[in-house]
């Protein structure tokens, strides 16, 4: 069997999802035996362009990112988006609500030329067609390996269609929302084993939404728990504020008060 040729690329991100790939310690050598990695700047010198599968981390931010992702799309038979920045825009998109000149002015004292140039932070799918998405901030190591196995077998990688609340219940974690913690697991896509509530932090929907999110009901649940409905919107902003992503929740909830 010939091994599929795979390339890894990163755009505006922390490269934490690629680190997750390198952190599959028990399976890394097996993984590198099952696929032929031909381009992975963070880990290797080789950079060949004859890849069949491209795994892309990060948001499109700079003008040259647009050119580069289009080129990757023409070369790759299958394009996989890795992580919240690539799939949703992630935290990068929070600043899109503000004028870029204003944002750059605050950080660089007004420099926007050359290496400082930036566009609205956008998910990969805003520029090119994405075939599969591996969600999460960061991606889950086991889920990444499952996706590789599916692609090797010629099947579609599995993504749960249900809410994080389901996995919280299965895990036996007491409900954070009922205790007045601003958790939005009820609208969030599962697959993470509800790890954040288990370690004492509310779900912030880093995997985006499940197939049937009810944002009006989320606002009402916040109100019942003694929190303003705006607070649900503020939480939704964290990973899901890119304009096409936020369209899903914007009409159902009052604007977060901090914008």
Partner 1 sequence: MGASAAVSVRHLTRVEGHGNIVVDVRDGVLTRCDLEIVEAPRFFEVLLKGRPAEEAARIACRICGICSVGHATASIHAVEAALGIMPGPKLRLLRRLNMAGEWLQSHVLHLGFLVAPDAFGAGSVVPLAASHPDLVKGALRLKRLANNICMAVSGRHVMPISYHPGWMGHWPEPAELEALRFSLAEAAPDLDALVDVFSQITWPSLARPAEHVAVLEAGAYPMMGGALHSTAGRMTPPAAYASVLQEYVVDHSAAKHVRGPGGDGSGKGGGTIRVGALARISLASDRLHPRAAVALQRLRLAPDSANPFDNIAAQVVESVQAHAEAVSAVEALLADPVSEGPAEATRAGGEGIGIVEVPRGTLVHHYEIAADGRIARANCLIPTAQNLASIEADMRAFVPGLLDRPKDEITHALEMLVRAYDPCISCAVH
Given the rule CB under 8 A, which residues bind partner 1? 10-20, 22-23, 25-26, 28-29, 32, 37, 40-47, 58-59, 61-62, 65, 90-92, 94-95, 98, 103-104, 106-109, 111, 114-116, 118, 121, 137-138, 195-196, 198-201, 204, 234, 238, 258-259
All residues at 6 or more sequence positions from 83 whose CB lies less than 8 Å from its CB, including other chains? 13, 16, 17, 57, 58, 90, 134, 135, 136, 137, 138, 139
**Cβ closest to partner 1, residue 23 vs residue 216:** 23
> DSSP of 194-211, one letter per residue?
THHHHTT-----TT-B-S
CB of 156 to partner 1, least distance (A): 26
**Cβ closest to partner 1, residue 41 vs residue 243:** 41
CB of 157 to partner 1, least distance (A): 20
Q: Is the peptide bond before 138 cis (omega within 30 degrees of 0)?
A: yes
SS (H, E, C) 143-165: HHHHHHHHHHHCCCCCCCCCEHH
CB of 5 to partner 1, least distance (A): 13
**Cβ closest to partner 1, residue 226 vs residue 258:** 258
**Cβ closest to partner 1, residue 79 vs residue 238:** 238
Sign of the CA dihedral with 176 first, then 223, 188, and 161 last: positive
CB of 52 to partner 1, least distance (A): 18
């Amino acid at each position: 069997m010939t091994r599929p040729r795979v390339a890894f690329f990163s755009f505006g991100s922390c490269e934490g999802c690629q680190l997750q790939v390198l952190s599959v310690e028990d399976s890394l050598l097996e993984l590198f035996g099952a696929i032929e990695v031909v381009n992975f700047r963070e880990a290797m010198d080789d950079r060949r362009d004859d890849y069949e599968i491209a795994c892309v981390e990060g948001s499109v931010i700079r003008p040259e990112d647009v050119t580069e992702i289009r080129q990757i799309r023409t070369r790759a038979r299958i394009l996989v988006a890795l992580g919240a920045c690539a799939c949703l825009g992630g935290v990068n998109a929070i600043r899109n609500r503000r004028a870029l000149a204003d944002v750059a002015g605050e950080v660089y004292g007004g420099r926007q030329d050359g290496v400082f140039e930036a566009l609205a932070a956008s998910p990969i799918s805003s520029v090119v067609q994405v075939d599969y998405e591996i969600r999460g901030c960061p991606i889950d190591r086991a889920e990444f390996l499952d996706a590789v196995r599916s692609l090797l077998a010629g099947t579609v990688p599995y993504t749960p269609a249900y809410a994080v609340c389901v996995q919280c219940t299965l895990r036996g974690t007491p409900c954070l929302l009922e205790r007045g913690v601003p958790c939005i697991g009820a609208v969030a896509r599962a697959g993470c084993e509800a790890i954040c509530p288990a370690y004492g932090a509310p779900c912030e929907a880093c995997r985006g939404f499940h197939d049937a999110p009810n944002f009006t009901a989320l606002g009402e649940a916040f109100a019942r728990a003694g929190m303003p409905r705006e607070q649900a919107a503020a939480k939704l902003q964290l990973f899901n504020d890119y304009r096409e992503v936020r369209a899903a929740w914007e009409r159902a909830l009052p604007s977060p008060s901090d914008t």
